[in-house]
Structure 1
Amino acid sequence: MQTETAEQVVIDTSSTTVHTLGPKDARKIRYMQKDGRFPVVFHKASDWSPYLMDIFTTLVEIRWRVMFLVFSLSYILSWIFFGLCYWLIAYVNGDDSNDDDKICIYNVRGFTGAFLFSMETQATIGYGFRGMSENCMVAIIVVTVQDVLSCLIDTIIIGIVIAKMASARKRAQTVGFSNFVVVSLRDGVLCLSWRLGDFRRNHIVEGVTTAQLIRYVKKPMGYVVISYQNLEIEEREIVLATPALIIHKLQPGSPLYGLGPDDLLEENFELVVSFTYTGDSTGMLHQTRTSYTPSDIRWGQRFQNMLKVGKRHYKVDYALFNETIWVPVPLMSAEEYDRRRRPVEPNTPSLQPDKRSQIVVNVAPELK
């Protein structure tokens, strides 16, 4: 049941429906996934120069199984390479037939012995069975180069592993947005809001929220045009010690000002929201992001209160993080709601005395 007055237009929430995407709309590709990933594929995969120029970032971004493969191959290949060098030195010097005072590398009589000596040298195992003599300067130089290279490999591998373990993506998984956004009245103004929360005990130092409305249109020639519109957010800078409610007022200038609940069924846009923040434990910069489609907008609802004040602490019930309740909300766009709320200006400054008396005469019989 819909009730209209000159001051306020509200709806009976018992007849409110939640809009969902149909089968046709469900097949549309999202600009950004709910977990913050972008479904973008680069077809120009033959050019590997951008990845090789920034090899450290490339290794940090690869999967763990690939990282372990690179980790193992970096050592095994270096052992094989220097093992070949030691084997060639021993072969050229004739260590198999020379006396002990002319041998370059003790107890290296083949490639297997040279490989073991290379591994013992680089891993600093030092079993004491094989060793380097002072007769061959070339062998001494190769051992020195291998020792320096092994320190370099250890530094790079350890740095990459630590960077992957402290990746910003891991911390971003503990900061989350609500599964949907709601439209409700706040101080007589229609507002679009969503929830942001930190699920860890070591909270965030500071952070900034942003929101963009993204539309993409497929042109007849086959190319796609993507437009970006920034949404004004109240209180963009947040200390996320407790869950925060991010609010965007549907006022003139907002891209959603002229959209009502029925218009959302025909709209094709994504609301991309992000939270860039500094972690309290590490001091590193992180970012959490997600996106909402028109089917994720719940008109006429608000989030349940999940914060209570105790004697010594603030109590937060994260079980209510995505819970909402129905509230009376205008079943129309913010533009139409504002237009109906404006007072109607009379055509004349005041009513004439005869007209006022005529109204009383006409109404009085009905009142009786």
Structure 2
Amino acid sequence: MESPEIVIESLEPMLNSREKNPERNPTSRSIAITPKKDPASLIKRKNVRRLVTKSGESNVSNGRVTGPGTGTFVGIFTWLVDSKWRWTGLIFFASFYITWTLFAILFWVICYFHGDFEMQEQGESVNNGSIPCIENIRDFTSIFLFSLEIQTTIGFGFSRVTEQCGAAIFTLTVQAILGAIIEAFLVGVVFAKLVRTKQRAQAIGFSQFAIVCQQDGQLSLMFRVADRHTSRIIGARVRATLVSQTRTTREGHVVTLDQQPLRIYPSGEDSDLLLLWPTTIVHSITVESPLYGMNESEMTQAAFEIIVTLEGTTSSTDMSTQAMTSYLPTEILWGYRFDDMIGAKSDNGRPTVDHSLMDNIYPVRTTPEDDGSEEFIPDLS
């Protein structure tokens, strides 16, 4: 059996409370003993297609979607906002260069068929002395610069469209309008990316697994949430939903991906969650719980997923943010409790939160194997 790594910490302000708890500190020594083990080694892996990834991304794809809000324009805008900055920057530069080049080609074709390239240095055409479509252009390079000047509205400079060529005038107006639309579209994308709350939501961390143990005499499912950002989340609410692959109703109807809410504490229906420090969310497995009656083996083999959603308002920007994660049955560990993350006070008198202990657990002897009275002792090997 692999010996757990023992980490000795001098947390004097927490010794008195820990010495009173024989589970947490089974010895009378004035140190805190924390068994360390890689949580991933405790999870029995399965090839299960989850609905929501651990990072909060949805794995549900929509097909044959019609109706308002599903058009190509909306889809492209959403894709650009959600994509990485390097892709947004690439589209930003490419859109301008492509439009400049396309309209330069159109102007070149118009000038070619109008005979502008046969123009003399004095600005007169050899074709019966007619006025050219675009004055002072000699080759494709000069036309490309002319196209750039039109779309960026920096002025025509030495070249300009004359009133003798209707096709060139029409092309000029189309490019001016299209250029304004592209600029407005890309500015909207960049602004939406700057003010979006996705980056803020990434600072909200959930424990990689959930645990089941006794809490206040009641078998409970627990997971941990923490905010690692300096700006705080106010009015935070946490919701947990158990999604079963199938559920058969009393009438015999089979419901696919049935949703059942889990009552949790804190952050219930009428209370907000204080995220100044990491908080353990507790769901009591009572008679009303969908998990009631399951033991460890039954829960591991069950086909469900617990989706957790945290919603709140960022104090610095006053914008709402949302973070999600999920737990599969194989990511629920029985007979463990989360380790403390709040350590000794620093020199300035403030308690210190060690976020590296987010997923640290230790075994407890108070978790029954099922809803009976049989005691269950987890194995760390």
Q: Give the letter aligned to residue 231 of structure 1.
A: L
Q: Give the letter aligned to residue 21 of structure 1.
A: K
Q: Give the letter aligned to residue 227 of structure 1.
A: D
Q: Who is 1:35 aligned against? A: 55
In 2 relative to 1, CA 20–85 (structure 1 residues): closer, same or farther, beyond 3 Å? Answer: closer
The 8 Å contact of residues 261 and 331 in structure 1, kept in 2 or not, is answered as no
Q: Give the letter aligned to residue 175 of structure 2.
A: Q
**1: CA distance between counterparts of 2:323 and 2:89?**
27
Tell me which of 340, 360, 370 is aligned to 1:305: 340
Superposition CA RMSD, Å? 3.7
In 2 relative to 1, CA 256–204 (structure 1 residues): closer, same or farther, beyond 3 Å? Answer: same
Q: Give the letter aligned to residue 238 of structure 1.
A: L
The 8 Å contact of residues 275 and 287 in structure 1, kept in 2 or not, is answered as yes
In 2 relative to 1, CA 135–43 (structure 1 residues): closer, same or farther, beyond 3 Å? Answer: closer
**2: CA distance between counterparts of 1:166 and 1:86?**
39
Deviation at 1:85, TM superposition (A): 4.3
What SS does structure 2 have at the residue aligned with 1:305?
Answer: coil
Tell me which of 215, 219, 224 is aligned to 1:190: 219
Q: Who is 1:229 aligned against? A: 260
**How many matched pairs?**
317
Deviation at 1:160, TM superposition (A): 0.9
Q: Give the letter aligned to residue 210 of structure 1.
A: R
In structure 1, runs of 5+ residues without a counterpart are 1-9, 339-368
Q: Who is 1:78 aligned against? A: 99
In 2 relative to 1, CA 218–80 (structure 1 residues): closer, same or farther, beyond 3 Å? Answer: farther
In 2 relative to 1, CA 307–133 (structure 1 residues): closer, same or farther, beyond 3 Å? Answer: same
Using CA pairs under 8 Å that are at least 6 residues apart, name the structure with larger relative contact order, 1 or 2: 1
Q: Give the letter aligned to residue 340 of structure 2.
A: N
CA offsets 1:260-282 (integer angstroms, 9 cap, x no match): 23433332322111111222233
Tell me which of 227, 239, 245 is aligned to 2:280: 245
**2: CA distance between counterparts of 1:46 and 1:190?**
46
Q: Who is 1:359 aligned against? A: none
Q: Give the letter aligned to residue 92 of structure 2.
A: F
Q: Who is 2:81 aligned against? A: 60
Matches within 5 A, 1:1-368: 20-21=43-44, 26-42=46-62, 50-52=70-72, 54-55=74-75, 56-62=77-83, 64=85, 66-91=87-112, 94-95=115-116, 96-97=118-119, 100=123, 102-124=131-153, 128-132=157-161, 139=168, 142-217=171-246, 225-236=256-267, 237-308=272-343, 310=345, 312-334=349-371, 336-337=372-373
In 2 relative to 1, CA 258–75 (structure 1 residues): closer, same or farther, beyond 3 Å? Answer: same
Deviation at 1:315, TM superposition (A): 2.1
What SS does structure 1 have at the residue aligned with 2:92?
Answer: helix
CA offsets 1:132-180 (integer angstroms, 9 cap, x no match): 5566676556545534432332221122133234443322221110111
**2: CA distance between counterparts of 1:132 and 1:38?**
52
The 8 Å contact of residues 300 and 329 in structure 2, kept in 1 or not, is answered as yes
In 2 relative to 1, CA 53–82 (structure 1 residues): closer, same or farther, beyond 3 Å? Answer: closer
In structure 2, runs of 5+ residues without a counterpart are 1-22, 27-34, 36-40, 125-130, 249-253, 375-381
Q: Give the letter aligned to residue 44 of structure 2.
A: L
In terms of fraction of residues, the more helix-rich structure is 1
**2: CA distance between counterparts of 1:53 and 1:116?**
29
Q: Give the letter aligned to residue 234 of structure 1.
A: Y
**1: CA distance between counterparts of 2:294 and 2:94?**
58
The 8 Å contact of residues 210 and 274 in structure 1, kept in 2 or not, is answered as yes
In 2 relative to 1, CA 255–143 (structure 1 residues): closer, same or farther, beyond 3 Å? Answer: same
In 2 relative to 1, CA 228–261 (structure 1 residues): closer, same or farther, beyond 3 Å? Answer: same
Max radius of gyration: which structure? 1
In 2 relative to 1, CA 257–180 (structure 1 residues): closer, same or farther, beyond 3 Å? Answer: same
Deviation at 1:125, TM superposition (A): 5.3
Q: Who is 2:127 aligned against? A: none
Normalising by structure 1, report the TM-score. Answer: 0.72
**2: CA distance between counterparts of 1:85 and 1:261?**
71
What SS does structure 2 have at the residue aligned with 1:255?
Answer: coil
Bigger shift: residues 200-209 or 161-170: 161-170
**2: CA distance between counterparts of 1:37 and 1:145?**
40
**2: CA distance between counterparts of 1:206 and 1:269?**
29
CA offsets 1:75-122 (integer angstroms, 9 cap, x no match): 233213432443355446544447648444222134443222101332
CA offsets 1:12-41 (integer angstroms, 9 cap, x no match): x99xxx96436xxx1232232222223334
In 2 relative to 1, CA 291–159 (structure 1 residues): closer, same or farther, beyond 3 Å? Answer: same
Q: Give the letter aligned to residue 263 of structure 2.
A: E
